[in-house]
Structure 1
Amino acid sequence: MRGLVLVCGRAGEWFTAPEGVRTEALPARPGKAEVDPLLASELVVAGSDADLAAVVLRLLRKEKLDTTTVGYVPADADSAVAARWGLPTDRRHALDLALTGFDRPVPLIRDDAGGVLLGEGVVRNPRGVAYCDDTVALRGEAGSIVVRPDLEGPGLVATVTRGRLLKRRQRFPARAFQLGGAPSVPVSDGVPYPRPMERWTWYRHTHDLRLVIVAR
């Protein structure tokens, strides 16, 4: 049983640790000062997708992705990370899996602004040109582009949605997604980037995340 649970932000309002499990209360989207002293070979994060991404970013920066397993207890029933990797959103079941399950390597997606993407990235109303590797995914306008990690393909899949009434969706598996054009605000795991960007990239990192997703 993993012995350290990082309880982030509002997860502290409902999280109750089983006997013998150590917990540390952290703020929402904790940073270097809060996370780095607690990094260990086995971690569980209780909180939002953004909280989990903040912890994984520290693992990336400290080069501990290969030596750390990460379990996740989603605070939100609509967690994109849970949906992407088939994790339970019932908190009791999610905690049981996180504490006792097995890890599996899953693609870790980075961006060119120094962040990571674990569940879902969204660009709404993009206007410009988007590439998925060497394939043109968009030239012009779209209602949205959604990028998610993908275990079956090169690393990620971008879904481009066009049309207002009759929506048309195209999926583009790729290792990297690039968008250039009119300024837009990318949203990673529910967190909007602080300012509109004319260029944005999401791409698969060279090392995967060891996420606990397989029940014992």
Structure 2
Amino acid sequence: MTNTEIAVLRFGGRRLARALASLPCHDDPDPAAIDAAAGTASRVVVVGSAADLATVLTRLMRTERLDIEVARVSRWRGARKALTGAAQRVPLIRDETGSVLVDAAFWLPPGEDRVIYGEAVVDDDLLFDGEVTAVRIEPTTSMPGLRAAVLTGRMRPRRWLTGRAVQLGTTGARVVRDGVELSREAKRSAFYRHTTGWLRVP
């Protein structure tokens, strides 16, 4: 893969590794800049956080450009692998708002509450019914696409359930997606596998 086929999307003014310095670079890219990179490159390298990677993947999903290979560099040693690594299609997990999840999401108690009241299912399996401290959701690199677990008081998972989708109905919960808390509490929330996976460069 040549340099002309790779573009860098840099967030937060992060320093670029030397291996990336000669590539076309878009700083703090907005949707138009992500579209421009996807229009000229077959691979984009995201220099930023998990939330930044999710922003890029959300845009590629919404514009139906999941044919673009995507690498993320968060440490210096990841730069060369981002340029030379082989892409692999993995499940793409999104929520009901059409935003992508790449690392982890949490359902947390609202306000001053210590528990979430409600019910959650993973596909047809009951995750919980009643009250729990919190729930963690993670994408997986293989089918069916995600896993979810109720967390104990020490925020440790009890048991993981895997499936295509996880859904919550509750009196109220805070939703945190890739380290970013959504502005409004939710009474319903869902994460599920998109019809098309994304091309991840390990």
Band of TM-score, shorter chain: 0.7 to 0.9
Match of 2:173 in 1: 184
Q: CA deviation at 1:18?
A: 2.7
The correspondence of residues 52-71 of structure 1 with structure 2, limited to 5 A, is 52-65=53-66, 67-71=67-71
Cα distance in structure 2, aligned partners of 1:168 and 1:208: 26
Match of 1:45 in 2: 46
Report if the CA contact (8 A) 1:17-1:23 is conserved: no
Match of 2:131 in 1: 141
Letter in 1 for 2:151: T
Report if the CA contact (8 A) 2:19-2:80 is conserved: no
Q: What SS class does the counterpart of residue 135 from structure 2 fall into?
A: strand
Identity value in percent: 36
Relative to structure 1, the CA distance from residue 37 to residue 150 in structure 2 (aligned partners, 3 Å threshold; closer, same or farther) is same
Q: CA deviation at 1:153?
A: 4.1
- 5+ long unaligned stretches in structure 1: 75-90
Q: Of 127, 133, 144, which aligns to 2:117?
A: 127
2:192 matched to 1:208? no
Root mean square deviation, CA, Å: 2.0
- 5+ long unaligned stretches in structure 2: 110-115
1:114-152: CA deviations, max 9, x gaps?
211011111123321001011110111112111111134
Cα distance in structure 2, aligned partners of 1:140 and 1:133: 18
Q: CA deviation at 1:20?
A: 6.8
Match of 1:86 in 2: none
The correspondence of residues 61-140 of structure 1 with structure 2, limited to 5 A, is 61-65=62-66, 67-74=67-74, 91-125=75-109, 126-140=116-130
Letter in 2 for 1:45: V
| TM-score (structure 1 length as normaliser) | 0.81
Relative to structure 1, the CA distance from residue 113 to residue 19 in structure 2 (aligned partners, 3 Å threshold; closer, same or farther) is closer
